[in-house]
Amino acid sequence: MDSRAMMAASLLGMVMTMYRTRNKNTDEYIMSSHKRGYQPETPGSTEVIILGADVAGSALAYALGKDGRRVHVIERDLTEPDRIVGELLQPGGYLKLIELGLEDCVNDIDAQRVFGYALYKDGENTLLSYPLENFHADVAGRSFHVGRFIQRMRAKAASLPNVKLEPGTK
């Protein structure tokens, strides 16, 4: 796993942890903030700034935006990334997309469903299937062009009225 994938996985895990923790403690948080003299911010002000709108940044913006946060995302270049990268989203990653409400981001981008993989070594091969029998029929891995996926995630995040997505400088 390369460092970008590890960072994206870490950020996604952090988002999920924050989301779950905040939802469990919302009433307690509101009560304690009133005791401290909390005053709401002025309308339109930003609560969270995210630098970068690739997979992790877009997912974070969407999750925080759905949670009611006012999010400002700054991305160096908002055009579709044109990297030669064929991504393989494992079934567990697809389950996380479902959990975040982002599963439709793999639709209409020519994503191919993947049910396993093969290992080749010294002229031998082994076929490995994902154990998907306990999941909904739509759950599988997905292989796609990462640029299209990123654009769909950016659009989904920007569709929320409290998420602002804008280009930075090159």
Run of H or E including 12: helix 3-24
Give how many domains the chain has, as a whole number. Answer: 1
Higher per-residue pLDDT: 84 or 78: 78
Range of the domain at 115: 3-167
- Nearest of 50, 52, 58, 14 to residue 148 by alpha carbon: 58
Note whether 58 and 36 are within 8 A (CB): no
Residues linked to residue 68 through DSSP beta bridges, in sequence order: none
User: H helices of 25-145, where?
Assistant: 26-35, 55-66, 91-100
- Cβ neighbors of 13 (< 8 A, separation 6 or more) are none
Q: pLDDT band at 14, cuts 50/70/90?
A: low
Q: What pTM was estimated for this model as a whole?
A: 0.72
CATH number, domain of 72, equals: 3.50.50.60
| pLDDT tens figures, 51-75 | 999 999 999 999 999 999 999 999 9
